[in-house]
């Protein structure tokens, strides 16, 4: 990965953290369980799979920068399915059939 690609990826992750924390800030005013559920529900409804993949990259590496309410909500956020290439699908089919 080039320096520019690394810089762009870091900016994307920083944006995901910032957006998730903005949602967390809004829902911190609610009763705790309602707030946690609200954060997860918002991310599930409005974030496309690519954004949720980036979100889980942060969560899975320790959640650096994420508010505690966002980290707690992560358990209720749907993980996007892995992107499967045609080659991987063909390999899986060959393994399943034979």
pLDDT at 53: 94
Q: Which residue has tokens 């705790």?
A: 32
Contact 20, 66 (CB under 8 A): yes
> Which is nearest to 12 in space by CA: 46, 47, 38?
47
Q: Which residues contact 67 (CB under 8 A, 6 or more apart)?
A: 20, 21, 24, 25, 28
When pLDDT is cut at 50, 70 and 90, the band that residue 14 belongs to is very high
The answer to whether 28 and 69 have CB atoms below 8 angstroms apart is: yes
pLDDT band with cut points at 50, 70 and 90 for residue 7: confident
């Amino acid at each position: 990965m080039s320096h520019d690609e690394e810089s762009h990826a870091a900016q994307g992750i920083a944006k995901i953290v910032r957006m998730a924390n903005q949602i967390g800030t809004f829902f911190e005013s609610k009763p705790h369980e309602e707030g946690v559920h609200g954060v997860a529900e918002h991310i599930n409804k409005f974030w496309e799979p690519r954004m949720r993949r980036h979100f889980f990259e942060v969560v899975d590496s320790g959640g650096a920068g994420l508010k505690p309410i966002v980290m707690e909500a992560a358990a209720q956020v749907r993980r996007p399915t892995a992107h499967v290439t045609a080659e991987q699908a063909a390999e899986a089919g060959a393994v399943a059939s034979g």
